[in-house]
């Protein structure tokens, strides 16, 4: 009986996702490689021949990479500081990291409009201290998008590094120190290799998060600093160019799946 019951119980969920999700997405992706119903690579070639699109493509990759790198460095320092704290403080700090993750990204991102705007906090300080005669233009720049993305995604990195650090056997680091390794040697030879998995998981979450972010570039970048998702939105809403949308969709899906497959390789490699 179990032979039938197993598939039967998964059938509703699988059917729902197949019809309401996978099928429409596959049709959309096929738009990128068809012209008038016949196979053609011209939409793909067209996208990469258009300098504007290529610029957005590289900006998305560059910003996502930069956000991931920054999150890794800042996240590591934060995770080490959290793991060093007392157990009760640790719980509270982790709670504080989860809290912003649960708040609407629109609200979180809009906060930066207030901080970075012409009459915002940063300009108040800059003009007040006489560092600049007039308010700096901070909104609708890559810097603003970068700051917004780091704030949005940093908690994911810290959380996965904290759990990786907690899994290191308690006496490994003291042992290295007793045997004469300095702080840097211990970190690079012991701690870092033992938490590689957590770093990769956090890195994948942050990278794909930045890659597929819509709200942050939409609010803080506007039409001046487009990323792939905001470009896709524009292509549909302004020119209704479904082929271009299909191409961007393929790029996004391929990049996300690649990142996730790499993640599974690295994360699964050790536990199995």
Cβ 212 to other proteins, closest distance in Å? Answer: 4
Distant-in-sequence contacts of 29-33, Cβ < 8 A, 24+ apart: 29/246, 29/249, 29/250, 29/253, 30/246, 31/242, 31/243, 31/245, 31/246, 32/243, 32/246, 32/247, 32/249, 32/250, 33/246, 33/250
Give one DSSP letter per residue of 168-214, joined into a string.
S-TTHHHHHHHTT--HHHHIIIIIHHHTHHHHHHHHHHHHHHHHT--
Q: Which of 40, 44, 105, 136 binds other proteins (CB under 8 A)?
A: 105
Q: Does 155 bind other proteins (CB under 8 A)?
A: yes
Q: Which of 236, 262, 266, 267 binds other proteins (CB under 8 A)?
A: 236
Q: Which of 37, 51, 95, 193 binds other proteins (CB under 8 A)?
A: 95
Cβ 151 to other proteins, closest distance in Å? Answer: 6
Q: Does 73 bind other proteins (CB under 8 A)?
A: no
Q: Does 85 bind other proteins (CB under 8 A)?
A: yes
Q: Does 149 bind other proteins (CB under 8 A)?
A: no
**Smaller CB distance to other proteins: residue 51 or 171?**
171
Residues in CB range of 60: below 8 A, 6 or more apart = 211, 227, 228
Rounded Cα distance, 119 and 114, in Å: 8
Q: Does 192 bind other proteins (CB under 8 A)?
A: no
**Stretch of 33-41, 43-51, 59-67, 209-217 lying at the interface with other proteins (CB under 8 A):** 209-217
The number of residues that bind other proteins (CB under 8 A) is 80
Q: Does 13 bind other proteins (CB under 8 A)?
A: yes
Identify the H or E element spanning 24: helix 23-30
Q: Which of 17, 35, 41, 69 binds other proteins (CB under 8 A)?
A: 17
Q: Does 106 bind other proteins (CB under 8 A)?
A: yes
Q: Does 120 bind other proteins (CB under 8 A)?
A: yes
Identify the H or E element spanning 163: helix 142-166
Q: Does 117 bind other proteins (CB under 8 A)?
A: yes
Q: Does 226 bind other proteins (CB under 8 A)?
A: no
Which residues from 27-56 bind other proteins, rule CB under 8 A?
27-28
Q: Which of 33, 61, 66, 115 binds other proteins (CB under 8 A)?
A: 115
Give one DSSP letter per residue of 34-93, joined into a string.
EETTEE-SHHHHHHHH-HHHHHHHHHHHHHHHHHHHHHHHHHHHHHHHHHTS-HHHHHHH
**Smaller CB distance to other proteins: residue 77 or 172?**
77
Residues in CB range of 41: below 8 A, 6 or more apart = 33
Q: Does 253 bind other proteins (CB under 8 A)?
A: yes
CA 53 from centroid of its chain's CA atoms: 21
Q: Does 67 bind other proteins (CB under 8 A)?
A: no
Q: Does 121 bind other proteins (CB under 8 A)?
A: yes
């Amino acid at each position: 009986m179990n032979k039938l019951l197993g598939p039967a119980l998964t059938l509703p969920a699988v059917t729902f996702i197949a019809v309401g999700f996978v099928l429409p997405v596959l049709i959309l992706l096929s738009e990128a490689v068809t012209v008038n119903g016949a196979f053609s690579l011209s939409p793909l070639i067209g996208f990469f021949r258009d300098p504007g699109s290529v610029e957005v493509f590289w900006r998305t990759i560059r910003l996502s990479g930069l956000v991931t790198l920054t999150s890794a460095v800042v996240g590591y320092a934060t995770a080490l500081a959290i793991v060093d704290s007392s157990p009760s403080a640790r719980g509270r700090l982790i709670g504080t990291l989860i809290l912003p993750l649960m708040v609407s990204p629109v609200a979180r991102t809009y906060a930066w409009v207030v901080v970075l705007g012409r009459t915002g906090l940063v300009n108040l300080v800059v003009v007040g201290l006489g560092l600049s005669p007039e308010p700096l233009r901070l909104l609708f720049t890559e810097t603003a998008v970068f700051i917004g993305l780091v704030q949005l995604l940093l908690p994911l990195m810290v959380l996965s590094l904290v759990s990786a650090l907690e899994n290191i056997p308690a006496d490994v680091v003291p042992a290295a120190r007793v045997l004469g390794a300095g702080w840097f040697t211990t970190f690079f030879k012991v701690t870092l290799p033992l938490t590689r998995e957590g770093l990769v998981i956090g890195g994948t979450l942050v990278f794909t998060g930045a890659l597929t972010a819509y709200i942050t570039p939409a609010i803080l970048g506007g039409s001046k600093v487009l990323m792939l998702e905001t470009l896709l939105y524009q292509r549909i809403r302004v020119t209704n160019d479904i082929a271009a949308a299909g191409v961007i969709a393929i790029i996004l899906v391929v990049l996300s799946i690649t990142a996730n497959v790499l993640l599974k390789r690295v994360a699964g490699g050790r536990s199995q």
